[in-house]
Amino acid sequence: MEYCFTANALSKHYKNFKALNNLSMHVPKGAIYGFVGKNGAGKTTLIRLVCGLQFPTSGEFTLYGVTNTDRRIYKNRRRIGAVVETPSVYLDATAKENIKAQYRVLGMPSFDGVENLLQLVGLENTGNKRVRDFSLGMRQRLGIAIALCSEPDFLMLDEPINGLDPQGIIEIRELILRLNQEKQITVLISSHILDELSRLATHYGFIDKGSMVKEITAEKLEAATKKCMKITVNDTRPMCLVLDQIGVEYRVVSLTEAELYGNITVTTLVHALDTVGCEVVAMREKNESLETYYLNLVGGGSDA
């Protein structure tokens, strides 16, 4: 698998505080990577390190195969766009003026792409409206437009939906999906709003206290959090024969436990198992949410 970003034992310390602690991480090319952690877990610190705003205490990271200690890293950083914390915009200027200002910073030869960028993020009809009069969602979209001025391959967004109303969240979600699917931009989304991430992410990295707890694909995470019936029997071997016959999807956990997926009448199942001498000891529904999965990984906490 090709990665646009990796981290190996990456650490960042501030006196007695470890913002990142031996972090290992892998962001596949083309992914929407949900970078999940509590407030203060180290998410923003990582983005700052990747952008060159800060430097690691130890360890290393790579951008498109080039390590952060290699002089070529400066060239590869041009392939990154980022919105760190809150968008950096000129409040007394219009959306178009803000994008033109970024073009000047980048030394772009003309403003030919400005209108296309405004249209891409849904700000083409803002006219002479000043940014200070924008909604929070409009400011976020403008911040993303500014990050896209350099035509990046890799976009990093730090809490892009934090504080947005439902309509703003939908607009940002649709924009991110469009950038990923139509523009083939790899996107890293730092967030602690897990329900919204589940609508976007193809991969996840769960961070706690500066360390990576687990990396997992959305497909495997969905399987791990899939709604099921957990059943305990005296012996799963005859149970498997019955489940195969009636066409119920299942996963054997141990000699006495299994997880059943799909709809099945409890009475029908118990009767079928009784005919082969399989005794049902207990049954309970298991429906783990993404938030529950994360809390189980890191040991709880209400601000995840």
- Of the listed ranges 42-46, 56-60, 133-137, 190-194, the least confidently predicted one is 190-194
Q: Is the pLDDT of residue 303 over 50?
A: no
- Band of pLDDT at residue 198, cut at 50, 70 and 90: confident
- Of the listed ranges 44-53, 67-76, 166-175, 279-288, the least confidently predicted one is 279-288
pLDDT tens sequence across 117-157: 999 999 999 999 999 999 999 999 999 999 999 999 999 99
The residue-averaged pLDDT of 19-32 equals: 96
How far apart CA 219 and CA 253 sit, in angstroms, is: 19
- Helical spans, DSSP H, in 190-288: 194-197, 218-224, 236-246, 266-274
pLDDT at 300: 60
Percentage of the chain surpassing pLDDT 90?
A: 71
Q: Is the pLDDT of residue 168 over 60?
A: yes
The answer to whether 10 and 60 are in contact (CB under 8 A) is yes
Contacts of 286 (CB under 8 A, 6+ apart): 227, 228, 229, 230, 259
pLDDT at 193: 80
Place of tokens 């877990």: 41
Q: Where are the beta strands (DSSP E) in 129-195?
A: 154-158, 186-191
- Band of pLDDT at residue 191, cut at 50, 70 and 90: confident
Of residues 265 and 3, more confidently modeled: 3
State which amino acid sits at residue 228: C
